[in-house]
């Protein structure tokens, strides 16, 4: 395992087309943040430093003069805890790197570059620059989008009219397809999907994903493929 | 949210620039800690074939869970778009094409109902 500039550029190129669709979500966050009372600089700063739509919208929900810093941490933790699961899944590769490169690997870890890189690593990719690059290109799109939204220069179009709202789930579903096709047993996939849907009304935001992922992991891990 | 007393939650009287940046900084630090936590935990757990299998299935399950949640929060339109996208992926092996097809289905669905 290694990490090179060439790998970073390759990762950025591979996810560049998808990252374009991140911009409208950034715009939506920028508009919402300013409406909620953030300054444009704070909104862009939040996107640049946090780079997590789920966490940032959750914090925005708490945003007022009486904001509780403990609540900020707890809410952020709750909606983003699935990053632990993704980090653990990437750990067999990432932990072969030195500390500095591990930190770099963590910096841009999000759902899309996790999905893309995990598939690439299983297809014998050996350069973790792909993880960093495919994450960094999403970061650029997210920050640009936030800036456009926060500066008030853009009218928000309805993402549903162009189907932009289904891009992310469609991308994740597409990442699952080749993996599912090379396996013979898919019971754990059904378990994960059912657990996610059925626990959604009961568990706090984000926790149904973790519950479903761990349930699928346990069921799949205990069954034998052959 | 947990039913903690307001004093425990560190409620502050007014939103200053300093408080805003502290909140942003704390959220950013929390997310980074979570991003690194998976590596950190697995370094201490150590790899066994069972854990490797668990992580392997976990990595797909987390994506399945995200998709299933999004589809169930949406409805028939989202389900149809995602399923057509998956078929496109199975046939063409192109994620970009799968996303484009799913977008078209969702956009046409909205257009048809408008």
**Using one digit for the tens of pLDDT, what is the confidence trace for B48-100?**
888 888 988 998 999 999 999 999 999 999 999 999 999 999 999 998 899 99
- Cross-chain residue pair B65–A64, CB shorter than 8 Å: no
Tell me whether B91 touches chain A (CB under 8 Å).
no
Q: Are the C-beta atoms of residues A128 and A7 closer than 8 Å to each other?
A: yes
Tell me whether A220 touches chain B (CB under 8 Å).
yes
Place of tokens 């891990």: A221
Please tell me the distance from the alpha carbon of residue B36 to that of residue A211, in angstroms, as a whole number: 20
> At residue A16, does pLDDT exceed 80?
yes
- Cross-chain residue pair B42–A59, CB shorter than 8 Å: no
Give B48→chain A minimum CA distance, Å: 11
Place of tokens 């853009």: A154
Please tell me the distance from the alpha carbon of residue A93 to that of residue A7, in angstroms, as a whole number: 15
Structure ipTM: 0.89
Please tell me the distance from the alpha carbon of residue A154 to that of residue B106, in angstroms, as a whole number: 23
- Cross-chain residue pair A188–B67, CB shorter than 8 Å: no
Q: Are the C-beta atoms of residues A178 and B19 closer than 8 Å to each other?
A: no
Q: Is A75 exposed, middle or buried (0-12, 13-18, 19+ CB in 10 A)?
A: buried
Angstrom CA distances, A153 to A31, A69, A146, A149, stand at: 10, 31, 11, 7
Please tell me the distance from the alpha carbon of residue B41 to that of residue B37, in angstroms, as a whole number: 6
Q: Are the C-beta atoms of residues A89 and B38 closer than 8 Å to each other?
A: yes
Q: What is the pLDDT of residue A156?
A: 65
> At residue B37, does pLDDT exceed 70?
yes
- Cross-chain residue pair B43–A176, CB shorter than 8 Å: no
What is the distance, to the nearest Å, from the Cα of residue A226 to the centroid of all Cα atoms in its chain?
A: 32
Tell me whether A51 touches chain B (CB under 8 Å).
yes
Q: Is A152 helix (H, G, I), strand (E, B) or coil?
A: coil
Is the overall model pTM greater than 0.90, yes or no? no
Q: Are the C-beta atoms of residues B36 and A106 closer than 8 Å to each other?
A: yes
Using pLDDT thresholds of 50, 70 and 90, give the confidence band for residue A102.
Answer: very high
Please tell me the distance from the alpha carbon of residue A44 to that of residue A148, in angstroms, as a whole number: 9
Tell me whether A203 touches chain B (CB under 8 Å).
no
Place of tokens 């790899």: B47
Please tell me the distance from the alpha carbon of residue A106 to that of residue B31, in angstroms, as a whole number: 10
Q: What is the pLDDT of residue B14?
A: 52
- The residue-averaged pLDDT of B15-21 equals 91
β partners of residue A127: A2
Q: Provide the 10 A C-beta neighbour count for residue A58.
A: 22
Q: Provide the 10 A C-beta neighbour count for residue A96.
A: 13
**Using one digit for the tens of pLDDT, what is the confidence trace for A44-95?**
999 999 999 989 998 998 898 888 899 899 889 988 988 999 999 999 999 9
For residue B52, list chain A residues with Cβ-Cβ distance below 8 A: 92
Q: Are the C-beta atoms of residues B10 and A68 closer than 8 Å to each other?
A: yes
Using pLDDT thresholds of 50, 70 and 90, give the confidence band for residue B24.
Answer: very high
**Closest by Cβ to B9, choosing from A71, A80, A109:** A71
Please tell me the distance from the alpha carbon of residue A25 to that of residue A31, in angstroms, as a whole number: 10
Please tell me the distance from the alpha carbon of residue A91 to that of residue A214, in angstroms, as a whole number: 16
Give B45→chain A minimum CA distance, Å: 10
For residue B15, list chain A residues with Cβ-Cβ distance below 8 A: 37, 63-65, 67
**Using one digit for the tens of pLDDT, what is the confidence trace for A159-207?**
788 888 898 899 999 999 998 998 888 999 999 999 999 999 998 878 8
Q: Are the C-beta atoms of residues A154 and A32 closer than 8 Å to each other?
A: no
Q: Is B12 helix (H, G, I), strand (E, B) or coil?
A: coil
Phi and psi, residue A194, nearest 5°:
-65, -45
Q: What is the pLDDT of residue A47?
A: 98
């Amino acid at each position: 395992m290694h990490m090179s500039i060439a790998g970073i550029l390759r990762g950025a190129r591979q996810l560049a087309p998808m990252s374009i669709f991140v911009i409208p979500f950034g715009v939506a966050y920028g508009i919402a943040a300013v409406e909620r009372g953030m300054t444009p600089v704070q909104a862009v700063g939040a996107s640049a430093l946090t780079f997590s739509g789920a966490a940032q919208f959750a914090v925005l929900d708490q945003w007022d003069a009486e904001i509780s810093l403990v609540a900020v941490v707890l809410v952020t933790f709750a909606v983003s805890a699935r990053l632990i699961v993704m980090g653990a899944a990437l750990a067999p590769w990432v932990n072969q790197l030195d500390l500095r490169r591990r930190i770099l690997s963590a910096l841009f870890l999000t759902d899309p570059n996790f999905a893309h890189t995990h598939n690439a690593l299983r297809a014998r990719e050996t350069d973790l620059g792909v993880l960093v690059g495919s994450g960094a290109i999403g970061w650029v799109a997210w920050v640009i989008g936030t800036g456009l939204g926060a500066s008030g220069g853009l009218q928000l179009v309805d993402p549903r009219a162009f189907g932009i709202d289904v891009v992310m789930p469609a991308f994740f579903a597409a990442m699952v397809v080749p993996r599912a096709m090379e396996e013979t047993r898919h019971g754990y996939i059904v378990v994960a999907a059912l657990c996610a849907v059925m626990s959604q009304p009961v568990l706090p935001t984000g926790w149904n994903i973790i519950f479903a992922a761990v349930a699928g992991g346990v069921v799949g891990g205990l069954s034998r493929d052959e | 949210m947990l039913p903690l007393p307001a004093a425990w939650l560190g409620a502050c009287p007014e939103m200053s620039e300093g408080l805003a940046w502290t909140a942003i900084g704390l959220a950013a630090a929390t997310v980074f800690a979570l991003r690194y936590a998976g590596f950190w935990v697995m370094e201490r757990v150590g790899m066994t074939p069972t854990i490797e299998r668990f992580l392997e299935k976990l990595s797909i399950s987390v994506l399945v869970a995200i998709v299933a949640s999004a589809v169930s929060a949406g409805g028939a339109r989202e389900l149809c778009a995602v399923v057509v996208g998956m078929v496109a992926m199975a046939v063409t092996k192109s994620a970009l094409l799968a996303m484009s097809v799913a977008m078209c289905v969702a956009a046409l669905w909205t257009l048809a109902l408008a």
